[in-house]
């Protein structure tokens, strides 16, 4: 499959700060790719390197096989959607969407026709005459998408575009973005610090930390088979078992990840633990456990009888739920 974006040993330094540090990365043509990580992990700088807003200190970048370093943003076949929408308040929705076409010299009739097509694509037909201030946050985000899509870029870059929306609207927009990407078939590269967004939308995810990629894989790979303790803890939550405990339990001298939903509580389970706390979250209750001088968390579904703080309980899990992390760190 053709590469949409290729990083070869790419770095971006700001003095002593290594914002991106020797990153190798391939984004495939037509996939929904997420860059996930905490603030300062390098994901947004990587996106800006693709867009051309930053230039690499070292390394090589290709976009659909063409060298990108040194090429200005306006000559790259990519467009970016930002969290703050960046709409022009003095322009109508139609003029906002058609702005890039106007700069490119497209005639008024043609650019307005394409703007209306783009608005229909994001389910805002008939909104062209409105002012951005008259729209809801979700509608403004759709306008920003339409403006980015009207130029028919090969790669659409999305820099935490849903961060300003409330939870219900954010979840709705996640579904719409995924559906839109599938119908268009163009490459989406999505930056987020929200692991739920990345897992629910992306075909593959790259997890960043301190300027480096810790792991790239499908959402299932990232969640079920994390390479490192950082990935296991950042993507969802996980119980990280130290190597000496894993050696005793499974005969392997490596750290292991054990997801809270895999921990069972009930008579007949293999191990003894003490309940140290309970936290009701709606669909599940988080049960904190003291086990072999360490802390574990289990999730108990709503409606299931719960132990009380201080109770001694039996806990267990399937052997396959204990995922060994040879890299450990």
pLDDT digits (tens, 9 = 90+) for 166-201: 778 788 888 888 988 998 899 999 999 989 899 999
Q: What is the pTM of this model?
A: 0.89
| pLDDT at residue 223, rounded to an integer | 94
pLDDT digits (tens, 9 = 90+) for 151-165: 889 999 999 887 767
- How far apart CA 136 and CA 123 sit, in angstroms, is 14
Domains of the chain (ranges; CATH) run 3-229 (3.40.50.300), 237-325 (2.40.50.140)
The values of phi and psi at residue 237, to 5°, are: -125, 150
Indicate the pLDDT class of residue 318, thresholds 50, 70 and 90: very high
Residue 23 has pLDDT above 90, yes or no: yes
- How far apart CA 224 and CA 226 sit, in angstroms, is 6
Mean pLDDT of 72-93: 88
Out of 5-9, 105-109, 116-120, 325-329, least confident range? 325-329
pLDDT digits (tens, 9 = 90+) for 283-311: 999 999 999 989 999 999 988 889 999 99
pLDDT digits (tens, 9 = 90+) for 63-77: 999 999 999 998 999
| pLDDT at residue 329, rounded to an integer | 52
pLDDT digits (tens, 9 = 90+) for 212-266: 999 999 999 999 999 999 999 999 889 999 999 999 988 888 999 999 999 999 9
Look at the block and give the residue holding tokens 């954010």. 170
DSSP 3-state of 307: coil
* Percent of all residues in the chain with a pLDDT value above 90, rounded to a whole number: 72
The values of phi and psi at residue 215, to 5°, are: -165, 145
- How far apart CA 55 and CA 13 sit, in angstroms, is 10
């Amino acid at each position: 499959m053709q590469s949409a974006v290729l990083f070869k040993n790419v770095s971006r330094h700001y003095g002593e700060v290594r914002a991106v540090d020797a990153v190798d990365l391939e984004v495939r043509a037509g996939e929904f790719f997420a860059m996930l990580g905490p603030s300062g992990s390098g994901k947004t700088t990587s996106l800006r390197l693709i867009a051309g807003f930053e230039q690499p200190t070292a390394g090589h970048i290709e976009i659909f096989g063409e060298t990108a370093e040194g090429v200005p943003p306006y000559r790259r076949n990519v467009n970016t959607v930002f969290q703050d929408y960046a709409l022009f308040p003095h322009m109508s929705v139609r003029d906002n969407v058609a702005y890039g076409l106007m700069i490119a010299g497209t005639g008024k009739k043609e650019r307005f026709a394409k703007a209306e097509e783009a608005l229909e694509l994001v389910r805002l037909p008939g909104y062209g005459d409105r002012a951005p201030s008259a729209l809801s946050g979700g509608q403004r985000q759709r306008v920003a998408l339409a403006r980015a899509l009207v130029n028919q870029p090969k790669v659409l870059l999305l820099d935490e575009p849903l961060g300003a929306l409330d939870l219900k609207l954010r979840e709705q927009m996640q579904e719409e973005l995924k559906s839109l990407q599938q119908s268009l078939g163009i490459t989406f590269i999505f930056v987020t610090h929200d692991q739920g967004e990345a897992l629910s939308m992306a075909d593959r995810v790259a997890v960043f930390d301190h300027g480096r990629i810790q792991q790239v894989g499908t959402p299932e790979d990232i969640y079920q088979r994390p390479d490192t303790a950082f990935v296991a803890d950042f993507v969802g939550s996980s119980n990280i078992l130290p190597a000496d405990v894993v050696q005793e339990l499974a005969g392997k001298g490596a750290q292991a990840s054990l997801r809270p939903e895999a921990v069972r509580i009930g008579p007949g389970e293999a191990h003894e633990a003490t309940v140290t706390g309970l936290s009701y979250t709606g669909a599940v209750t988080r049960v904190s456990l003291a086990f072999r001088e360490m802390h574990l968390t289990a999730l108990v579904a709503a409606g299931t009888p719960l132990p009380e703080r201080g109770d001694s309980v039996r806990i267990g899990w399937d052997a396959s739920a204990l995922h060994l992390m040879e890299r450990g760190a």
